[in-house]
Structure 1
């Protein structure tokens, strides 16, 4: 299996995989394992016999049969280990959540006013399709929406009375700065900034082909061939630099009103770098570091910074229209529906929560792959003995 496939392959679930997934989730849930442990050690003889029957216990629980005693001890020990691991995981999750939310149980600063009155203003980049479009549609029920997009909006989104469209290529720095000033004049400030605009190229560092974005962006060499330097530059402007420009434009007013939320739509590519995605992954780990760095500065450098929420969203493969060439299908990758990502963003925004969110949730463990030893990563991703 290639590195690109092994990161986030989502094949249609089988009955076996569904059952296995359910058992795995149950084994990692301390309420389940702890409950079973309590019943096994404190329950009635009849109840314990019923629980142990699947493990091959046919003799009396109180017999001196060495085999039965050994099996019982193994089951109890396993449940103790699983329960302890589950409790520690829950404690770790709680501490991480507390840390992300600036070590406060309740956010400081002014209260959010989402609702039918639509007193809050949310700015979203890249909302003509995919995540941005769905987020704008859902959040428009609770706030006024500003959309920055290079292409016109779909008719149903543009028709909504509280959706305001500014046509702007966020990769054009000068144009983006101009639009930011216009938004300030029109709305004063915004409450939530969702940096969603982004794209990938899907080429190796040395691959040369016609620009998939704009042929005029390519740099032609003397031999007539085209390099990807301009494509890389544009990708970094759209995926990363635009986020910094927007933060600089709107964070000061958020700090002044002691209310704000910066959301970055990153990727699971923030944690692992497969072939053909190097530039994209660099931009996405940059988006993660931007979120973490902004949070650190809000806590230590800016008055009112503890009132600012910071969230990075890390989706796997989802149906957003980005795979127009069917590359994922050729790799045997099935895209997940986009709704779980939208639900996560809406939940973070409406509840004023900060965090690093991986979607699907079980991909949270994939964020730790970065800390595996190099040899273990190579084995995991099939790089040992691989050939071009």
Structure 2
């Protein structure tokens, strides 16, 4: 029986606002490129007082000023980057048996770092070079403490913690059982407390570390049929801010905190979830998110990674008038996106449909 034909995508399908912005940032909005224009004009003997010369020089000066102000803003907010030597780092990735977590773990394993994956599921790839698997329900404090001791004995003191594991059930508040709500908060929120309390003391002793908290763009919005997920992810925003404030006085330069708020991933776990506009709200490839997280961790930076573009501005929704917010929610389809969710059967407490998110 022949397989069904795959519908052809329109020619403009790869075109997104994020792609356009990326092109602009490497051309028209890049200070180096901007300075090429007045230099070329001057090479053609254009007078300094010529309008074209003045306008292009002013534009290049503005972009240069904004570039250095962005660097200054990063340094004031998060301090100087810490030195990262992968040969001396021990990396812990929760929920690293598949998806985003697995990508990050594999990359660091191939690059020579010692990597420990904590997950209740077996790794999708079986074994990965440089990656040690520890079967652990991160929502169980005792299991986390046991795994932490084993990692310390096997690999050394962890210096990079990537809290990636998360679940949701895709049900209305009334359909959610109490056990499901409690499990979501254990995995999505309490696990962060368990892992931070288990690994942060070692980072303080080593005087170096990075803690990555993976939240979600939906943490700023809430969403129908994802109340457990969005509430737990919203709490992570406050946890990241509080943790950063607590580390600020004594460990500002040595222990970095990184918050990641991604949009929708293009994995089977999100099958059936609709995006309102492929142009304004493109679906993320896990590899693209992994590259940004790895880039920030390698650079020893702290701060916030929000992607795609709308995720950087979605928290401004709260300052809009209530009526405008309602119109935007209707236009975006955020409250009906989960209705067509396909999902996959979970391996957790119950055999009901359970969505597992990598962030």
Q: Scaled by the length of structure 1, what TM-score is found?
A: 0.68
Q: Does 1:240 align with 2:186?
A: no
Superposed, which structure 2 residues align to 1:1-388 within 5 Å?
A: 14=12, 22=20, 26=24, 29=29, 31=31, 90=67, 93-102=70-79, 104=80, 106-107=81-82, 111-114=83-86, 118-141=87-110, 142-156=112-126, 158-160=127-129, 162-206=130-174, 208=175, 227-300=176-249, 303-324=250-271, 326-328=272-274, 335-361=283-309, 363-382=311-330
Which runs of 5 or more structure 1 residues have no equivalent in the other structure? 1-10, 48-71, 209-226
Which runs of 5 or more structure 2 residues have no equivalent in the other structure? 1-8, 337-359
The 1-side partners of 2:38 and 2:193 are apart by 52
Aligned length: 318
The 2-side partners of 1:228 and 1:12 are apart by 42
CA contact (8 A) 1:190 1:254 kept: yes
Alignment CA distance shift 1:132-1:98 (3 Å): same
- 1:36: Cα distance to partner? 11
The 2-side partners of 1:12 and 1:137 are apart by 34
Q: Scaled by the length of structure 2, what TM-score is found?
A: 0.73
The 2-side partners of 1:20 and 1:257 are apart by 39
CA contact (8 A) 2:35 2:57 kept: no
Alignment CA distance shift 1:372-1:187 (3 Å): same
- 1:241: Cα distance to partner? 0.7
SS of corresponding position for 1:281 = helix
SS of corresponding position for 2:145 = helix
- 1:234: Cα distance to partner? 0.7
- 1:382: Cα distance to partner? 2.6
The 2-side partners of 1:197 and 1:338 are apart by 14
The 2-side partners of 1:354 and 1:97 are apart by 9
The 2-side partners of 1:16 and 1:348 are apart by 26
Which structure has the larger Rg over C-alpha atoms? 1
- 1:252: Cα distance to partner? 1.1
Alignment CA distance shift 1:250-1:92 (3 Å): same
SS of corresponding position for 1:256 = helix
Partner of 2:345: none
CA contact (8 A) 2:210 2:297 kept: yes
Alignment CA distance shift 1:340-1:100 (3 Å): farther
CA contact (8 A) 2:139 2:191 kept: yes
The 1-side partners of 2:22 and 2:105 are apart by 35
The 2-side partners of 1:175 and 1:149 are apart by 11
Instruction: Write the deviation string for residues 322-351 of structure 1: whole angstroms up to 9, x where unpaired.
Output: 225x23389988633211101011111222
SS of corresponding position for 1:381 = helix
Instruction: Write the deviation string for residues 186-240 of structure 1: whole angstroms up to 9, x where unpaired.
Output: 334101000010122222222x2xxxxxxxxxxxxxxxxxx52221111111011
